[in-house]
Amino acid sequence: MSNMNILDFSTYIFDLDGVIINSEPIHYNCYKEALLRIVDYNLDWNEYCKIHHSLDNSFEKIFPENYENIYNLKKELYKNEINNINLIDGFYDFFNLLIKNGKIICIVTDATDEIIELISKRFPFLKKCNIIITRNSSKKRKPDSHCYLSLLDKLPKDIENHHIIAFEDSYKGWISATNAIYNCILINNENYVYYNMINAANKMNDFKNISELLFKLSFNYLPFYISSKTHHRDKWLKLQTMYPIVANWIHINKNKEEINTEDKEYICNVIQDDINSSVFGILYLEKNEKEHIGSLIEIGLLLANQKKIYICGDNIFKDEVLFNFKKYLNFSHINNFDLNKVFMNIQYDMNEDYQKFIKKINHHQIDIISNQIQNKNENIDIIDYIVISASGKGSRLLPITQHIPKLLVNVDNLNILNKIINYWKKYSKKFVIVIDSKYNEIVDFYLKLTDIQYEIINVDCNDGQENSYTIHKALQNNKFINKKILITWCDIYPETIIPIDIFDTTNIIFTYKNFGRYDAIDNMIIKKPYGNIIGIYYFGSFKQINIFEPKMDICDCYKENFGDFNSYEIEVLTDIGDYQKLCYYINNKTTKYSTRYFNQLTDLPNNIIEKQSTCEYGDKVIINEMAFFKYHTLNNIPEIIEFKNNSYKMKKILNANNLINVFNNSNIKLQQNIILSLLTEIEKIHIVEHYTVDKRQLFNDIRIEFYDKVIYRLDNIRTLLSYFNFVKSVNNVPIRYDHTYIIEEIYSNIMNYFLDKNTYNTIHGDPHMSNILIDDINNIWFIDPRGYFGNTKLFGLKEYDISKIIYSLSGFDHINNNDNHFFIINDTNNIIVNITNNINNFLHLFNNYNKNILIYMTILHWFGLTDYSKNNIHKCISSYYYGIYLYHLYFVNT
């Protein structure tokens, strides 16, 4: 059997009784006492285990007439004994080890919510668990696996089943776990009545020595061949101690110049034999590597033997025809340089038993999800099509709309397009977007981020045509005839719910206050300066507009084409139709907290704030945040009072302001003192703990943070970058180098700087000044931690933290907190990014650090911000070009 380190898993699931707490003897004594009192039955220990841990037996079946009284008495006796319960030996230390390593920790128990609450009061650290599944939150009890399947549904979607390990102590718990979780450990001793029946490959009496445990896998690793450049041989030699790498060329430590003809013939024969002995092959590539003729021959041999090939590292051959043999080539592990994890994942991918297990689990999970969908009673489309009319020039929102359509103007965390879709998709999943053809690519980019069915229809209005012309041209297809259609202008959306039962066969003109140019009264439309028609029209059975003039507003020809209508007054509506309205909205919005699209903050009573994820990406982010708070006991971070799977509640820091606001309102001397204080406080986090990091881990993390992540984020917005690729200069600084060159150069310089360094410190991960508070007695408080660096949780390079302060000084907080930020591109294709750079004023305060490295990191932070802020196209593009600007400012034009 093959082995793996117990800390190589990502998620740890524990039963409660007998695994976390030594409560089984207490349960037994309470049942024994209850049975003696009520039915005068003397229960022994083994009999208790046989009955209580049975798959098909129970005390209820044995004592049906008296069970309710027995159980109620037993429950009261048990509750009285909770303060006498102790932890299983070693569990507390193991729990803290998992916290230190940033692992996800869960409990799956048959205990009730009430009992969990009582146990958590006895052992408060259990509140740090990410997810707790109790009897109350699962439809069926163990040995049924519903509780474990429910947990799987709550975990982040990128966690594979083999990344999870479960701990159970009882027979029924073991059956429940092993039918849902592939890897399990039994916590019990050989005297347990079901011990031999369980026959667990991995078993322990307790957790005292678990850190030394090598977990035995249920299968042997398959032998595989590896092809790469010879300078990677040290990697493979180390990994060969853990995996059956059949590639004897890695033991030949000679340069090409030292190899004679006889050696070459021997090596070729060895390669042929090794490939024949392998079950599959791995091709490992890194960027800038050349002359892969040897690897191409090895690939040919593997293909000739019909052996699957996994492409790992960089996908430098992605455009080659050869690399489109999808039947034999697998690219799912590209850009993951945690090779131990990659090799482990591939072994599970190749294991038939595991794949059958996953199919079975997926089938059960589909059943659960299907039931959940049925329970939600999702609405069938009420309206056939929602039509967003957006082919106007957007001139009333200049200069914001100089290069973008109006429907991409930002409102809070989303552009108006997303706002409109998010509102109306409750009524229909089919949308038609009517736009000028020049905006097709960027509008399609944002539509792909939604979960709707959409169609883009182009209507170009180049001669002053009005919306009647737009609707006539856009909806000519006969598929729209007699359909329920709602047409909305692209700069408005309701905030209050419109009843679905009004959308029948009657036409409706929606009204709101008196901000329009037309008024709808008693089935009549009157043109007047302050009318109530705002630009949302519903047609119960749509007919094409045929009677109109191209420069007519739809209101001028509505009655002739559509006849009678009802009016419906919208209670609350957002309208950003012109720059004045947009500014009014921004200045008067009631949103208290400015957050990213993937999370939200909510005020609760008693000065409590809840932070919650809003999407799958947010789930990943908040798990790392919570890991930071679980690990640290610093006195300048918020007190967390409750953790959940994708949210947490914390005490509000009273009488505190955002540090960046205090900084901006201070004179230069006070600003310097603020930075010095901030450096002192962040360095206190760095000295909490440190360790010597393995070089492979260090270089892998550096690559993730300063190359892979940046390239990935820019690739995510390549459509937007392509749209604006006509820009030739930034803030009047000519662009000599594109982002590809800049990233390569910076990554190389950062990597070279850390070649002789090997220390990881505890880090915050994101201490820019928007993530820091300062109270009325000048105490600094750290909020919103990132909690990881590369693939490493809680620890990383301290310079990474310090670079986030430079990031603030370069202007990040300005763009982050300014809802009305926009760029301007002039006639010479110079983009003016209105961000104030204060680095030079304070760089002398960072003499303890390599300043160039801090600025390099800062530039990459700006590139990385692009994808984070993509919902605001002005912030996204500004971030990109500002990163290019800073590089040229500090490393080209000097």
Statement: residue 418 has pLDDT above 60 = yes
Statement: residue 78 has pLDDT above 80 = yes
pLDDT band, residue 379 (cuts 50/70/90): low
pLDDT at residue 463 in the model: 77
Give the span between the Cα atoms of 379 and 396, in whole angstroms.
37
- Averaged pLDDT, 744-753: 97
Q: In the chain, how many H helices and how many E strands?
A: 31, 39
Model confidence pLDDT, tens digit, residues 30-56: 999 999 999 999 999 999 999 999 999
Which has the minimum average pLDDT: 518-522, 713-717, 744-748, 832-836?
A: 518-522
- Averaged pLDDT, 838-847: 97
Same fold, 224-343 and 657-891: no
Which has the minimum average pLDDT: 173-177, 293-297, 681-685, 749-753?
A: 293-297
pLDDT at residue 373 in the model: 45
Give the span between the Cα atoms of 93 and 98, in whole angstroms.
9
- SS3 breakdown of the chain: % helix, strand, coil, rounded to 5? 45, 20, 35
Q: Can you spell out the DSSP letters for 636-692?
A: TSPPEEEE-SSEEEEE--TTEEEHHHHHHTS-HHHHHHHHHHHHHHHHHHHTS-EEE
How does DSSP classify residue 874?
H
Contact 812, 668 (CB under 8 A): no
What are the strands, taking DSSP E only, across 139-247? 164-168, 184-187, 203-204, 214-216, 224-227
Which has the minimum average pLDDT: 73-82, 249-258, 497-506?
A: 249-258
- Averaged pLDDT, 343-366: 90
Give the span between the Cα atoms of 722 and 441, in whole angstroms.
9
Q: Can you spell out the DSSP letters for 591-639?
A: ------TTEEEEEETTTEEEEEE-SHHHHHHHHHHHHHHHH---TTSPP
Q: Report the share of the chain in percent with pLDDT over 70.
A: 97
Angle at 500 between CA 498 and CA 506, to 5 degrees: 100
pLDDT band, residue 363 (cuts 50/70/90): confident
Give the span between the Cα atoms of 441 and 450, in whole angstroms.
15
Burial bucket for residue 691 (CB in 10 Å: 0-12, 13-18, 19+) = exposed
pLDDT at residue 290 in the model: 76
**Which two tokens mark 704?**
């993730």
Q: Output the pTM of the full model.
A: 0.89
Which has the minimum average pLDDT: 317-321, 385-389, 572-576?
A: 317-321
Model confidence pLDDT, tens digit, residues 99-157: 999 999 999 999 999 999 999 999 999 999 999 999 999 889 999 999 999 999 999 98
Burial bucket for residue 218 (CB in 10 Å: 0-12, 13-18, 19+) = middle
Give the span between the Cα atoms of 781 and 634, in whole angstroms.
10
Q: How does strand 524-539 pair with strand 508-521?
A: antiparallel
Statement: residue 314 has pLDDT above 80 = yes
- Averaged pLDDT, 68-81: 95
pLDDT band, residue 850 (cuts 50/70/90): very high
Query: 533: closest CA among 507, 512, 563?
Result: 512
Count, residues in the chain: 894
Which has the minimum average pLDDT: 277-291, 348-362, 836-850?
A: 277-291
100 SS3 class: helix
pLDDT at residue 1 in the model: 59
417 SS3 class: helix
pLDDT band, residue 223 (cuts 50/70/90): very high
Q: Could you give phi then psi for residue 612, rounded to 5 degrees?
A: -135, 140
pLDDT at residue 405 in the model: 92
Burial bucket for residue 313 (CB in 10 Å: 0-12, 13-18, 19+) = buried
Determine if the peptide bond prior to 399 is cis (ω within 30°). Answer: yes
In whole numbers, what is the pLDDT of the chain averaged over residues? 92
Angle at 869 between CA 827 and CA 843, to 5 degrees: 80
pLDDT at residue 161 in the model: 97
Statement: residue 351 has pLDDT above 50 = yes
Q: Could you give phi then psi for residue 288, rounded to 5 degrees?
A: 70, 0
Q: Could you give phi then psi for residue 672, rounded to 5 degrees?
A: -65, -40
How does DSSP classify residue 715?
H
Which distant-in-sequence residues (6+ apart) come within 8 Å of 724 by Cβ? 403, 825, 831, 877
Q: Report the half-sphere exposure of 246 (CA within 13 A, side-chain side).
A: 17
Q: How far is the CA of 290 from the CAs of 29, 286, 693, 742, in angstroms?
A: 71, 9, 30, 21
- Averaged pLDDT, 815-833: 90
Which distant-in-sequence residues (6+ apart) come within 8 Å of 615 by Cβ? 597, 598
Domain spanning 224-343, CATH architecture: 3-Layer(aba) Sandwich (3.40)
The secondary structure of 31-44, three-state, reads: HHHHHHHHHCCCCC
Q: Report the half-sphere exposure of 446 (CA within 13 A, side-chain side).
A: 28
Statement: residue 725 has pLDDT above 90 = yes
- Tell me, which fold does domain 3-216 have in CATH? Rossmann fold (3.40.50)
pLDDT at residue 45 in the model: 96
Query: 283: closest CA among 242, 238, 236, 237?
Result: 236
Give the span between the Cα atoms of 245 and 227, in whole angstroms.
10
Statement: residue 376 has pLDDT above 50 = no
Q: Is the dihedral of CA 807, 810, 814, 815 positive or negative?
A: negative
pLDDT at residue 365 in the model: 65
pLDDT at residue 839 in the model: 97
- Averaged pLDDT, 281-308: 87
**Which two tokens mark 21?**
């707490």
Which distant-in-sequence residues (6+ apart) come within 8 Å of 411 by Cβ? 419, 574, 576, 585
Query: 383: closest CA among 536, 213, 526?
Result: 536
Q: Where are the domains of the chain?
A: 3-216, 224-343, 385-588, 599-651, 657-891
Give the span between the Cα atoms of 378 and 267, in whole angstroms.
64
Burial bucket for residue 769 (CB in 10 Å: 0-12, 13-18, 19+) = buried
Give the span between the Cα atoms of 12 and 105, in whole angstroms.
5
- Averaged pLDDT, 489-498: 92
Determine if the peptide bond prior to 605 is cis (ω within 30°). Answer: no
Check if CATH label 3.90.1200 holds for domain 657-891: yes
**Which two tokens mark 16?**
């409660």
**Which two tokens mark 187?**
């916590």
- Tell me, which fold does domain 385-588 have in CATH? Spore Coat Polysaccharide Biosynthesis Protein SpsA; Chain A (3.90.550)
Q: Report the half-sphere exposure of 298 (CA within 13 A, side-chain side).
A: 29
Burial bucket for residue 450 (CB in 10 Å: 0-12, 13-18, 19+) = middle
Given its phi and psi angles, is residue 669 left (phi above 0), alpha (psi -120 to 50 degrees) or beta?
A: alpha
